[in-house]
Amino acid sequence: MQADFAIIGGTGVYDAELLESPEVETVRTPYGDVELVSGVYKGKRIAFLPRHGRGHSVAPHRIAYRANMYALKQLGVTQVLATSAVGSLQLDCPPGALVIVDDFLDFTKSRVGTFFDDDRVVHVDVTDPYCHRLRGVLAQTAHDLNIDVRAGGTYVCTEGPRFESKAEIRFFQSNGGTVVGMTNVPEVVLAKEAELCYATVCIVTNYAAGLSALPLTHEEVIEQMAVSIGDVRRLFFEALLRLDNSRDCRCPTAVSGNSQLTGVAGEEADA
């Protein structure tokens, strides 16, 4: 089924119970098959993609990011609402807080982060990586629903699957990070390359390493997700009702509107 919108769920978000007549489908892409659920919510065609696969079977560094984004594009999706679990780098952003991030720091190491790894040279602009229009709709919707969100923040993406060391967290804090997670890069970058609008609501599941006396566990992440996911679902489904297919932002031309930056490999020596 074709879809206009997608919800990408992170840890602890595996169902699509709000969709009418949901269908499980497998989308074939050059990067592998993607299993997702599509359906209709109050007239909106939505694809629901569990980022880690069904049952959290794929670790963050092994997620098929390109396949996921390519599959959404292939279904006709243009706008993506994502959620992901994060640790907090700020004491005033405790477990349970929701953060609509607006920037990222990329500390991943071994991921292919582009669709343009052939003879095309494309340097996509990520000055505004997360679609400002979608972020605005999410923030306004949260306000109207009385859901507390922090609008703005920098997502530090680590390679995983391990959690961070205390020194890494101190480094990220002193360099402007707000939250730390393992999945937003390259997801947000690939969305931009695919000219999709993309925004993420981060669910703070824990204080990052060293900010609390206790060691981090995956279980506490899952537990806090379970508590917070209801609000994020409410927020997403209400935001979807407020969205239509008009996209008054720069995302639809993120690559095609930048023709001076595209060329054949070798033409731009030091770009």
Q: How far is the CB of 106 from ligand HPA (least distance, A)?
A: 14
- CB contact at 8 A, 185 and 106: yes
Q: How far is the CB of 190 from ligand HPA (least distance, A)?
A: 19
Q: Dihedral through CA 12, CA 75, CA 193, CA 137, nearest 10?
A: -60
Stretch that binds ligand HPA, among 43-51, 80-88, 117-125, 252-260 (CB under 6 A): 80-88
User: Can you tell me which of 82, 85, 191, 194 binds ligand HPA, judged by CB under 6 A?
Assistant: 85
- Choose between 29 and 173: whose C-beta lies nearer to ligand HPA: 173
Residue at shortest CB range from ligand HPA: 87
Q: How many CA atoms lie within 13 A of 20 on its CB side?
A: 6
User: Can you tell me which of 34, 36, 46, 86 binds ligand HPA, judged by CB under 6 A?
Assistant: 86
Phi-psi region of 179 (alpha: psi -120 to 50; beta: other; left: phi over 0): beta
Stretch that binds ligand HPA, among 45-53, 82-90, 94-102, 191-199 (CB under 6 A): 82-90
Beta-carbon contacts of 145 under 8 Å, excluding residues fewer than 6 positions away, are: 234, 235, 238
- CB contact at 8 A, 143 and 238: no
Q: Is 13 in the site for ligand HPA (CB under 6 A)?
A: no
Q: How far is the CB of 96 from ligand HPA (least distance, A)?
A: 13
- CB contact at 8 A, 79 and 4: yes
Rounded distance between C-alpha atoms, residue 206 and residue 85, angstroms: 9
User: Can you tell me which of 34, 180, 232, 243 binds ligand HPA, judged by CB under 6 A?
Assistant: 180
Residue 108 sits at φ, ψ, to 5 deg, of -80, 165
User: Can you tell me which of 221, 232, 239, 251 binds ligand HPA, judged by CB under 6 A?
Assistant: 221
Q: Is 206 in the site for ligand HPA (CB under 6 A)?
A: yes
Query: Tokens 């990011």 identify what position?
Result: 65
Q: Is 205 in the site for ligand HPA (CB under 6 A)?
A: yes
Chain residues that interact with ligand HPA, rule: CB under 6 A:
85-87, 158, 163-164, 180-182, 205-206, 208, 216, 221
